[in-house]
Amino acid sequence: MTNSCLPRTICFRPGRLSSWLSGLLAWGLLGPLSAAQLALIIDDVGARHDDPQVFALPQEVTLSFLPHTPWGRQLALRAWREGRETLLHLPMATTIDKSPGPWAIGPDQDQWQVQYRVKKAFADIPFTVGVNNHMGSAITGDIEVMGWVMAELHRQQQFFIDSRTVANSQAYAAARAAGLPSLKRDVFLDPMPGQATLKIQWRRALNFAQTNGSVVVIGHPYPDTLEFLQQQLPLLSQQGITLVRASALLSSP
């Protein structure tokens, strides 16, 4: 029988090698052989005066900036100077009584109007590498409108992440049909305010990552959310999960 030997150190019989590795894992002397990955996107950056607090988060956190907001362009430029991954958070109309912001893509616009709004948003938020939708429940279910959006993103050489604000969203399918590297959101971290919601959703995200190998999480720059993340993100490595930029999880069409 051939032994498995570490050079100039110890020799193991094949049957004992796996138990030796298991022992190291149990004592914490060897990290996970293949860690799950968590991509965290912070949306809506630029609308609030205290949004600069997002820069206290690790460099691996992806930031998504709202165009035509008081601080969006300024903070996007700061993120670019710091070498952070930045997205355009593209406003789209919603079915609820809540404004998505100025120059949003709406249901009664033609192709020229839709693509003009995409171009205008890029002009306001420079140096992005990708896009995800802000709201959009009145739009993302329309495959034709989503196709117009993705055609412009293709010209801009951007990837796309479907925020999945509505169950029938066609945005991810349209992105793949247009040949864009793309992703879908798996977990919303803070759909409701409060620590209880944050804890429940964070546990959902960790379980999803550990079960599926990766997870895409979207949160917002609320004070409670940022405080929670500053406490939890340093603990990920102990849970066998690696924090990565959103682009690390992209899948090609």
Burial pattern 75-90, b for ≥16 Cβ within 10 A else e, equals: bbebbbeeebbbbbbb
Q: Could you tell me the maximum CA-CA distance found in the chain, to the nearest angstrom?
A: 75
Residue 21, pLDDT score: 36
Question: Residues 41-91: pLDDT tens digits?
Answer: 999 999 999 999 999 999 999 999 999 999 999 999 999 999 999 999 999
List, as one string, the DSSP characters of 151-210: HHHHHTT-EEEE---STT--HHHHHHHTT--EEE--EES-SSSSHHHHHHHHHHHHHHHH
Question: Residues 204-233: pLDDT tens digits?
Answer: 999 999 999 999 999 999 999 999 999 999
Question: Residues 15-49: pLDDT tens digits?
Answer: 433 343 333 333 344 444 458 999 999 999 999 99
| Full-model pTM | 0.86
Average pLDDT over residues 192-202: 96
Residue 34, pLDDT score: 56
Residue 98, pLDDT score: 87
**Topology at the third CATH level for domain 36-249:** TIM Barrel (3.20.20)
The residue ranges of every structural domain in the chain are 1-31, 36-249
Residue 5 clears pLDDT 50, i.e. is over it: no
